Amino acid sequence: MPVIDMTQPFTALLCLACIVCAIFLGHEIKRAVIPAVALVLSIGLLITHTLQLFVFEDAYQIYSTVLSISLIYDFAFVLVTYLAYLWVDDIEAKERNKKSISNSLDWFWGKVI
């Protein structure tokens, strides 16, 4: 059985709710480390599902479709948490008057906010 089965709607909604809560908390306390933790966990889940699908394929052969769909969800969660990390990092940099990690998305944040 896969570590976390993202094809189950409850599991996908629970993971999404945890990510949204991490983003909201990071925005409220103006610390980029909170979305960074969510990003690391999303990457860890992506690596786990990838290993299960491609490295241990004999043991998880019957779960190949479940793992493939889970990989799609994992990539989406990594994208969302990465963008959230950059956004909260920009907010933290402005709050503390320090240099942001990346200012390459300033045009995007100007249109969003």
Residue 84 tokens, joined? 């959230």
Q: Buried (b) or exposed (e) across 72-88, using 16+ Cβ within 10 A? A: ebbeebbebbbbbbbbb
pTM: 0.82
Q: What is the DSSP string of 57-94?
A: TTTTGGGHHHHHHHHHHHHHHHHHHHHHHHHHHHHHHH
Query: Rounded to whole angstroms, how far apart are CA atoms 79 and 49?
Result: 16
Those residues with Cβ within 8 angstroms of residue 82's Cβ, 6 or more apart along the chain or in another chain? 39
Q: For 83-92, what is each residue's pLDDT tens digit?
A: 999 889 888 8
Domain ranges of the chain: 9-112
Please, what are the averages of pLDDT over each run of 10 residues along the chain (113 residues)?
82 93 94 94 94 85 88 94 90 81 65 66
What is the per-residue pLDDT for 106?
A: 66
Q: For 17-28, what is each residue's pLDDT tens digit?
A: 999 999 999 999
